[in-house]
Structure 1
């Protein structure tokens, strides 16, 4: 299996349970690694892989339109998009809130799922 990765994509999203988090969108850093069919590289055909530009646009659009209480729930939502809509066989996501706590650069979660 080949993999595509998107590192440290910045996204504005509504996530959190505290009043200060619910008041305005927060900047998240999202990294995705997902499996793609081997034949895409062999055939040099974009139609046989997952277009990372489409993934980036889709994730940003979806997260701008929803509120999630937990990063875990947000992560599972994105994983669902990748598995169901983009047909990725495997995905790993890392999501971090930036500058959310004094003296802490990032706080976040990592989740890994596969179709099997």
Structure 2
């Protein structure tokens, strides 16, 4: 299976269990690794036969900016579901970064990574 990767997609969302996270929001960063067969697109040099990563990036940003959830695990699942709505995408690895998570000790980043595929 071939891979198309998008790294560092940033969007503002209002996710988290604390009221201030819901009210103030924060930046979330998403990395995607999409599994698909790129041969048909490459053979015909045809965008319609692959995933349009610009469109997908906008859809993922809309999920992050959309309805708040408590857990970044839930956010990652919603993003995976959005990616798998694209017919050519057979598998997706989603990493959601929450670099401004409300943690009392110094840290660099918090991430959740999930992998989902078509049945």
Give the TM-score of the pair, scaled to structure 1: 0.91
Q: C-alpha distance in 2, partners of 1:108/1:32?
A: 13
**Residue 61 of structure 1 aligns to a residue in which SS?**
helix
Q: C-alpha distance in 1, partners of 2:64/2:29?
A: 12
Q: C-alpha distance in 1, partners of 2:57/2:68?
A: 18
Task: Write out aligned runs for 1:47-62 (5 A).
Answer: 47-62=48-63
- Residue in 1 that maps onto 2:109: 106
Give the TM-score of the pair, scaled to structure 2: 0.89
How far residue 22 of structure 1 moved from its aligned partner, in angstroms, is 1.5
Q: C-alpha distance in 2, partners of 1:16/1:56?
A: 22
Q: Which moved more, 1:31-40 or 1:49-58?
A: 31-40
How far residue 3 of structure 1 moved from its aligned partner, in angstroms, is 1.1
- The alignment's C-alpha RMSD in Å is 1.3
State the 4+ residue runs in structure 1 displaced beyond 2 angstroms.
99-102
Maintained 8 Å contact 2:27/2:100: no
5+ long unaligned stretches in structure 1: none
